[in-house]
Amino acid sequence: METKNVKIEVADPTVLGLFGLAIVTFVASSQKLGWTDGLAYVLPWALFLGGFAQLIASLFDFKHKNLFGATAFSAYGLFWMGMAVGWLIKLGCFGETLAATADPGQLGFVFLGYMIISLIFTISGLKMSKVMFFLLLLITVLFLGLALDAFGCGHIWHGVAAYSELMISLLTFYVLSAKYLNSFFGKEILPVGGPFLK
């Protein structure tokens, strides 16, 4: 009996995942910086772009056997879904009792855990492009700022988180532009720099 192996090719999902990260950090940083008010329009982008878009990208990166992309996109996608639910709790959507008993210190430990995994990603970023390394470093700084702000270590850390989140968004827009255009045209349109470690 003759058997045939069928290989299903899927497009690189990186640009989609990066777009999700870029949009959600753009709108979330605008709220942290006081340029916009409230969470009403942060929530949908946290769920759909920060959450679902990055999860979709992670699933296809598993198919590509891309350990970094699969792990990072799923970790950050689930983070934004968790944050969206957290904001809904804070806004009283699940009842006043839950909102009244929410302890910001628990969020601090979440941010601390994400800082640790982001630091691990940053170390692996030494073997990626320089732009990716600095993007991951900024994400680590963001979670450090968020953690220390949640633990009540001073308002300065809110500012650190806000500005690092804005820089993450802008740098992510550059990375996704480079990824898409360089791939589309088959040559380097936007440079990203070689890895620090060969």
Residue 168 belongs to a domain: yes
pLDDT score for 10: 77
For the stretch 91-119, pLDDT in tens is 999 999 999 999 999 999 999 999 999 99
Residue 181 belongs to a domain: yes
Domain that holds residue 154: 14-185
Residue 33 belongs to a domain: yes
3-class secondary structure for 100-134? HCCCHHHHHHHHHHHHHHHHHHHHHHHHCCHHHHH
Number of domains in the chain: 1
Name the stretches of the chain with pLDDT < 70: 1, 4-8
Structural tokens at position 88: 């809904």
Within a 13 Å sphere around the CA of 165, how many CA atoms are in the beta-carbon half? 22
Residue 25 belongs to a domain: yes
Sign of CA dihedral 127, 130, 132, 137: positive
Query: For residue 26, which of 50, 54, 53, 57 has the smallest C-alpha distance?
Result: 50
For the stretch 162-172, pLDDT in tens is 999 999 999 99
Residue 126 belongs to a domain: yes
Residue 128 belongs to a domain: yes
Residue 180 belongs to a domain: yes
Residue 52 belongs to a domain: yes
